[in-house]
Structure 1
Amino acid sequence: MKLHPADVWHTAATSPRLAVALAGRDPDDLGEQGRMERAHYLYLIALGLPAARAEQAIGSMNAGKWRGQDPNFALACKVVAKASQAYAQPKRPRITPDAIERFLTELRKGGMVKDACALAGVTPAAMYQRRKRDGDFARVWNQAARDGAAAEKQ
């Protein structure tokens, strides 16, 4: 098998391990692995992923820690995020009125919170956060749960 230098460089553009090796460093070194994770995180931010999604994609929730420990990385995150704003996912409401109604309807039927959230297309964490912030929503939720418990008894 014959390797062409152009193919090697092209592959290095998509393979952090190869790029590190071509730079004369050991890609299995822990420091280099951390550097590759940081680079991959910045790459995903540059493509417009929100920070939390980029962390999920790389399988590491360390970006906040990295920013706190390394001012240069923190600055790079700010610059890359600002430069990629035009490509970022559009902000949408986390919990729409329709989702709330589907959630409450399921609770009124006696459904569990987890199942009601799944049917509404929202996470339980998002609903509990909304409940904590919004007293009116908490009261409606409690009433729907009471209605559901009464319906289950009948």
Structure 2
Amino acid sequence: MENMLGDYTNILVAVDGSEQSEHSFKKAVAIAQRNKAKLKAVFIMDTRNVATSSQFTSGINQDFFNDVDTSFVDELVRFAKDAGVDADKTITNGNPMTLIAEAFPEEFGSDLIVIGATGKGAITRALVGSVSNYVVKHAPCDVLVVR
């Protein structure tokens, strides 16, 4: 059936390095191919759980984030480009809920957000579940939660 509501042009996909997020990214690539859409991969270091004591934060900030391996994001972007999709990435830190649901869609003009239903590890899974719920409730555009 023809997509009567028009095509997606700007797809935002949240990734975290888990198998689930790789699966949702590949699904987003397929949607981008069909719609000739741009794809933006976003990886957000969740800083909600990092203690905010300034003495602790100043020591942890840069080194903490430099130790996180984000090369998988480059591999995903390369996969998308090899598939003929115009793709790029944003790597940042902050609150994934509000960034994915509100700030990024506005900044990038996203008309579809693709997000995995679960993420890395049991604790993250609880957080990611709440992230996908939040995104579904607050996003200004369509949201695809990938199981």
Instruction: Please give the TM-score of this superposition, normalised by the length of structure 1.
Output: 0.24
Q: Which structure: greater helix fraction?
A: 1
Instruction: Please give the TM-score of this superposition, normalised by the length of structure 2.
Output: 0.25
Higher RCO (C-alpha 8 Å, min separation 6): 2
